[in-house]
Amino acid sequence: MASSAAILRRLHSPKCGAPHSPAWGYTKIRDALRGLKIEIARSTIANLLAEAGLEPAPERNKKRTWKQFVRSHWETLHACEFFAVETLGLFGTVRHRVFLVIELKSRAVHVAGIRVNPDGAWMMQVARNLLNPIDGFLQNATHLIHERDPLYTKA
Condensed to tens digits (0 to 9), the pLDDT of residues 89-125 reads 889 999 999 999 999 999 999 999 999 988 888 989 9
Structure confidence at residue 18 as a pLDDT band (50, 70, 90): very low
Confidence of residue 86 (pLDDT cuts 50, 70, 90): very high
Distances in Å between the Cα of 124 and the Cα atoms of 61, 84, 154 are 32, 20, 10
The pLDDT of residue 44: 85
Strand partners, 6: none
Q: For the chain, what percentages of helix, strand and coil (3-state, to nearest 5) are there?
A: 40, 25, 40
Mean pLDDT of the region 57-74: 75
Max Cα distance, the chain (Å): 79
CA–CA separation, 80 and 75 (whole Å)? 16
CB-CB contact of 151 with 97 (8 Å): yes
Mean pLDDT, the chain, whole residue set: 81
Query: pTM, whole model, 2 decimals?
Result: 0.58
> What's the CA angle centered on 69, arms 14 and 80, to 5 degrees?
140
Q: Is residue 14 very low, low, confident or very high in pLDDT (cuts 50, 70, 90)?
A: low
